Amino acid sequence: MTAGELRGVDPRTGERLEPAYPVADRDEIDRACALAWDAFGTYRATGLKVRAAFLDTIADRIEALGDTLVDRVMAETGLPRARVEGERARTTGQLRLFASVVRDGAWLGVRIDPALPDRTPLPRPDLRQRRVPLGPVAVFAASNFPLAFSVAGGDTASALAAGAPVVVKAHPAHPGTSELVGQAVREAVAEHGLPEGTFAVLHGHGHDLGTRLVTDPRIRAVGFTGSRGGGLSLVAAAAARPVPIPVYAEMSSVNPVFLLPGALRDKGAELGEAFTASLTTGAGQLCTSPGLVFALEGDGLDAFVDAASTAVGAAPAAPMLTTGIRDAYDAGAVRTASTPGVTTLAQGPEDPGIAVAGQPRLFLTDDETFLTHSFLQDEVFGAASLIVRVRDRDRLDAIVQSLEGQLTATLHLAPDDAGDHALAAGLLPELELLAGRVIVNGWPTGVEVSGAMVHGGPFPATSAPATTSVGTRAIERFLRPVAYQNVPAALLPEDLRDGAAGSPA
Amino acid sequence: MTAGELRGVDPRTGERLEPAYPVADRDEIDRACALAWDAFGTYRATGLKVRAAFLDTIADRIEALGDTLVDRVMAETGLPRARVEGERARTTGQLRLFASVVRDGAWLGVRIDPALPDRTPLPRPDLRQRRVPLGPVAVFAASNFPLAFSVAGGDTASALAAGAPVVVKAHPAHPGTSELVGQAVREAVAEHGLPEGTFAVLHGHGHDLGTRLVTDPRIRAVGFTGSRGGGLSLVAAAAARPVPIPVYAEMSSVNPVFLLPGALRDKGAELGEAFTASLTTGAGQLCTSPGLVFALEGDGLDAFVDAASTAVGAAPAAPMLTTGIRDAYDAGAVRTASTPGVTTLAQGPEDPGIAVAGQPRLFLTDDETFLTHSFLQDEVFGAASLIVRVRDRDRLDAIVQSLEGQLTATLHLAPDDAGDHALAAGLLPELELLAGRVIVNGWPTGVEVSGAMVHGGPFPATSAPATTSVGTRAIERFLRPVAYQNVPAALLPEDLRDGAAGSPA
């Protein structure tokens, strides 16, 4: 029985791309999960050096694809070459970063409490703790980062680093990209003599494949980047299993930006231009796109609004990833535009030369209207943003209290302005409860892959606020601690023996 | 409107104890949550030294209660003096351990990636990460550890250490104990000038108070120790909130013990006696009580069974915590006893001098019967255990695969026996996937409070397998990471400034 097939579409031209990729049927899904489970014992027992080398090889193999990969990504996503090359560098850099994380061994979380046989009233046993992987991980690739959040993106890299086999549900918007990268990973699996089930890519549309993966008893954790609806349905399916599993879903964020009076006064127009550059990056198809701007009334606010309006009005249309995403973007923008109290400030020019084009859009409203219509804080995925004129500090506080959990919150302030400083000092403790990352005098787009990054945040930005999907801490999502009490040295896992790499000095 | 009152009962005599304690009504619950939320900002901003001193003071105040507390615990629980004094020492030791954890600052998880302004193609911003508390925590006290898992037990100590205000739902089986300890904590709150809402104790029966707490929007995390049914209902209520919150529920475990042939051959009878001592500790009312023993056929198995039967048959009845717990224990034991293929080996003598008495019970069955009746692995809370004679390694594997997630798994082996060693080497990777703690040649009862301890494990042992409710890592449950990007030094949280305590060298 065949489950159908799917093809990529070039959003620049609307052309359906060859070849077609077969959609995974039940047997294939079952086989991938069975192989992943079979591989788990062997894969998690690989030494840290082998596992690190495997991750490095994946990066090498992806680079070796050269322009074949870059061209395919461009064709399937409409993203420009520089962005695709940059994302490839981020992806391979991320794999190599996790290789170094694996080698370092600190992620094992080794803790050793030596026995105290003479302690009274009771002796203390020898206790050693390390982290072990949860089991095979299902990774749901995102549409908007066809490399960095896709087949060999951050979820896959961190799960493989943790010792977990991975079954990827490819995003249907870039199947050819997924096949190329998947093949690179499979070659690395073979090169290092790892079990076949260490890694698999499956193609499919909609919820069926996803639900099957999340409810398969051999899948033990889920990484997801996508819409709130999609994430919540996976969370519900995972919670309803006989044995629930964690779902690390990064879902939606409007990334509020707060413009304080001193900053507006000093450089309102400059901020308007910089904001527009952030907003239009990747046609706004970023989870960190600044969808809401709260600007306190005062000198410079009009200059900000004027400059941003001019810049957005002149910003060219760009291909969006799929017609579905473009249609949702247009519908969201129309809902905002037609809300009483909201003014459309600017809309970029049409471009009939692009088949699936997104035009940047900018809206303006006041605090009252914003607080009245809670849907105005819903994510409109694409280059649309709403500027909210805020009368005073009280209104600003009410707005901060009304906001849902976010990936980021950004503050612009004049460093030497006492008023801005006092405002910021009061806001920061609120913003750190609201978001996973707080930015001062910058923009939320551009997510550094490093040890201190947090790409996460309170619900509904993510389903697991204590975690990050970017940066070295992402590995922790796929691990849990185990304590070993009085286990003889000959039977102890190697990581826990006296003097092992990763064990405390 | 009054919501009623409740009284403790002495399980040794059946006497209803004075005074009565008022059950919290809706207004009181609402007030406790409101005060906790109000306190959150101030409490989490306390310096580490103040917070640590506060935890030390709680320990001091509990000790200062002296025999008033010990006598009340004994009256409400029927636990013997030595156990109560030991548990008090564990509780105050735990508070002081978390004070030292707070002072150390490593739990803040500070990570600093300095700016790289000259990096190409893009500069790196200054990024600093620390953990912040989630918000007020609801703690559900357990019946069986009236001090160490109750009002000022591990959940409360670790939440307060994290900077989270705590609202405790006292266990109705020991309201007087809860009031005494609660008063000690309140005095410590006052002594350190902390906001009133830093801590509260509420009394109540059943699900109503619990559901209200877990669904209150100002409660941001839950710690629970108790039954599977109770834990799962809180998990469901928390997941159904508009903004879901984590529930750290420690629920049920039968703590399988595996006896390998060499160990049985060398000291079958000795193991039978040591096992019985573990089983009858605290009338078996421990989450780590050994409820299942899998013994491989061979020399010494009969000696183990005989010695355990003799010891259990001679073990005195002991007061159980409540009539409800005793009735559930008796019912569980009857279900096991009446299962075809199960033999009752021994039952301790009755003791009409104890009002709420539990008699130790020991059962025997074969691998086939065990594998046929999955309910035989349900927890029977109390001093009942089932020995399963296991024919061979294949049967043992089938049994390990059939087991649910556990807090502990224990292996007894003869250190110099090659057969035991080979068996253990094969079993250990399975047991570390099954349980949070793996013990060799010891017993699961007795949980060390230390850095390397894991008191947790796969579902249904807990609802959050990546965490522990005992040991210093328990603090991590109430924290999440936040990244600060380009935040000027003057606005950075103190923990993150260059050279702060807790920051990397």
Residue type, A353: G
| Minimal-distance CA residue of chain A relative to B83 | A121
Q: What percent of chain A has pLDDT over 70?
A: 98
Cβ distance of B452 and A111 shorter than 8 Å: yes
Q: Identify the pLDDT of residue B499.
A: 80
Residue B337 pLDDT > 60 = yes
- Whether the pLDDT of residue B79 is over 50: the answer is yes
Helix/strand/coil (H, E, C) string of A252-283?
Answer: CCCCCEEECHHHHHHHHHHHHHHHHHHHHHHH
Q: Is the backbone peptide bond immediately before B19 cis, with ω within 30 degrees of 0?
A: yes
From the candidates A485, A494, A498, which should be mutated to test the interface with B, based on the most B CB atoms within 10 A? A485
Q: How far is A162 from chain B (nearest CA, A)?
A: 13
Question: What's the mean per-residue pLDDT of chain B?
Answer: 96
pLDDT of residue A414: 97
Mean pLDDT of all residues in B211-238: 97
> For B369-402, what is each residue's pLDDT tens digit?
999 999 999 999 999 999 999 999 999 999 999 9
- What number of CA atoms fall less than 13 Å from residue A432's CA on the CB side? 28
Measured between beta carbons, the chain A residues lying within 8 angstroms of B440 are 484-488, 491
Inter-chain residue contact B482 with A436, CB threshold 8 Å? yes
The set of residues, in sequence order, having a beta carbon less than 8 Å from that of B249 and lying 6+ positions away, is: B222, B224, B225, B226, B230, B231, B232, B234, B235, B462, B463, B464
Q: Contact B452/A480, CB-based, under 8 Å?
A: no
Residue B223 pairs with which residues in a beta bridge? Answer: B139, B248
Residue A207 binned pLDDT confidence (cut-offs 50, 70, 90): confident
What is the edge-to-edge ordering of all strands in the sheet holding A343-347?
Answer: A343-347, A361-366, A384-390, A292-296, A257-259, A406-412, A435-440, B479-485, B127-133, B111-113
Interface test with A, best of B40, B85, B454, B459 (most A CBs within 10 A): B454
Site from A245, A260, A433 to mutate, B interface, most B CB atoms within 10 angstroms: A433
Nearest CA in chain A to B438: A484
* pLDDT tens digit sequence for A267-279: 999 999 999 999 9
> Residue A503 pLDDT more than 60?
no
A273 is annotated as an active-site residue: no
How high does pLDDT run on average in chain A?
A: 96
B362–chain A nearest CA distance, Å:
26
Helices H / strands E in chain A, number of each: 14, 19
pLDDT recorded at residue B308: 98
| pLDDT of amino acid A180 | 98
Note whether B127 contacts A435, CB cutoff 8 Å.
Answer: no
Per CB-CB distance under 8 Å, the chain B contacts of A429 are: 41, 45
**Interchain contact, B441 vs A486, CB within 8 Å:** yes
pLDDT value at residue A505: 41
Residue of A nearest to B496 (CA): A452
CA distances from B231 to B120, B235, B312, B470 (A): 52, 6, 31, 17
Task: For residue A175, give how far its alpha carbon lies from the nearest alpha carbon of chain B (Å).
Answer: 29
Is the pLDDT at B268 greater than 50? The verdict is yes
Phi, psi (rounded to 5 degrees) for B394: -60, -45
Which of B472, B482, B492, B496 to substitute to test the interface with A, most A CBs within 10 Å?
A: B482
Identify which of A437, A440, A467 has the shortest CB distance to residue B491.
A440
Instruction: Cite the active site residues of B.
Output: 250, 287
H-helix or E-strand spanning residue A215: helix A206-215
Residue A485 to residue B134, Cβ atoms within 8 A: no
Q: Single out the residue of A174, A162, A113 nearest to residue A137, CA to CA.
A: A162
Return the number of CB contacts < 8 Å for A and B: 185
**To the nearest whole percent, how much of chain B has pLDDT over 70?**
98
- Which residues are registered as beta bridge partners of B222? B138, B247
- Chain A: residue whose CA lies nearest to B466: A480
The counts of H helices and E strands in chain B are 14, 19
Q: How far is A243 from chain B (nearest CA, A)?
A: 6
3-state secondary structure of A391: coil
- Selection from A278, A405, A440, A292 nearest residue B484 by Cα: A440
pLDDT, one tens digit per residue, over B5-46 is 999 999 999 999 999 999 999 999 999 999 999 999 999 999
Q: Mind listing the pLDDT tens digit for each residue in B448-475?
A: 999 999 999 999 999 999 999 999 999 9
Q: What phi and psi values does residue A302 have, to the nearest 5 degrees? A: -65, -40
User: How far away is chain B from the Cα of A148, in angstroms, using its nearest Cα?
Assistant: 17
- CA dist., res. B134 & res. A405, Å (int): 12
Answer yes or no: is pLDDT of A206 > 90: no
Contacts with A428 from chain B: Cβ below 8 Å: 487, 491, 493
Q: d(Cα A179, Cα A6) in Å, to the nearest integer?
A: 12
pLDDT of A82 > 60? The answer is yes
For residue A324, is it left (φ>0), alpha (ψ between -120 and 50) or beta?
alpha
Q: For the CA atoms of B298, B302, B307, B310, what is the dihedral angle to 10 degrees? A: 160
The confidence score (pLDDT) of residue A425 equals 97
Beta strands in A423-466 (DSSP E): 435-440
Instruction: Return the residue in A491, A494, A496 with the most chain B beta carbons within 10 A, the one to mutate for interface testing.
Output: A491
Nearest to A432 among B125, B132, B428 (CB): B132
**Could you tell me the pLDDT band of residue A504, with boundaries at 50, 70 and 90?**
low
Q: How far apart are CA A344 and CA A364, in angstroms?
A: 6
Residue B380 to residue B376: CA distance in whole angstroms:
9
The pTM score is: 0.97
> What is the 3 state secondary structure string of B261-308?
HHHHHHHHHHHHHHHHHHHHHHHHCCCCCCCEEEEECCCCHHHHHHHH
Amino acid A1: pLDDT: 44
Annotated catalytic residue: which of A87, A287, A379, A404?
A: A287
Whether residue A448 and residue B127 make contact (CB cut-off 8 A), yes or no, is: yes
Tell me which chain B residue has its CA closest to the CA of residue A134.
Answer: B433
Contact A440 B487 (CB under 8 A): yes
Confidence (pLDDT) at B1:
44
Share of chain A above pLDDT 90, in %: 96
**Nearest CB neighbour to B483, from listed A132, A454, A486:** A454
- Could you report the per-residue pLDDT of B160-203, keeping only the tens digit for each? 999 999 999 999 999 999 999 999 999 999 999 999 999 999 99
In chain A, residues with a C-beta closer than 8 Å to the C-beta of B485 are 437-440, 442
Residue of A nearest to B121 (CA): A86
Nearest Cβ partner for B113 among A113, A432, A451: A451
Measured in angstroms, the CA of B2 and the nearest CA of chain A are apart by 34
For residue B505, the model assigns a pLDDT of 42
Output the six-digit token pair for B298. 């061979």
Residue contact B482–A438, C-beta within 8 A: yes
Nearest residue of B to residue A120, measured between CA atoms: B86
Region B437-444: mean pLDDT is: 98
Q: How far apart are the first and last CA of chain B?
A: 58
Contacts of B484 in chain A (CB under 8 A): 432, 437-438, 440
Contacts of A465 in chain B (CB under 8 A): 134, 480
Do the chains contact at A485 and B440, CB–CB below 8 Å?
Answer: yes
From B116's Cα to the closest Cα of chain A, the distance in A is 12
Tell me if A415 and B488 make a contact (CB, 8 A cut-off). yes
> Given A76, A250, A379, A404, which residue is catalytic?
A250
The pair of three-digit structure tokens given for residue B6, joined into one six-digit string: 């409740």
Peptide bond into A146 cis (omega under 30): no
Nearest chain B residue to A129 by CA: give it.
B452
In this prediction, residue B503 carries a pLDDT of 54
What's the ipTM? 0.97
Shortest CA gap B379–chain A (Å): 17
pLDDT value of position B500: 76
Query: What do you get for the CA distance between the two ends of chain A, in Å?
Result: 58
Alpha carbon distance B386, B389 (integer Å): 10
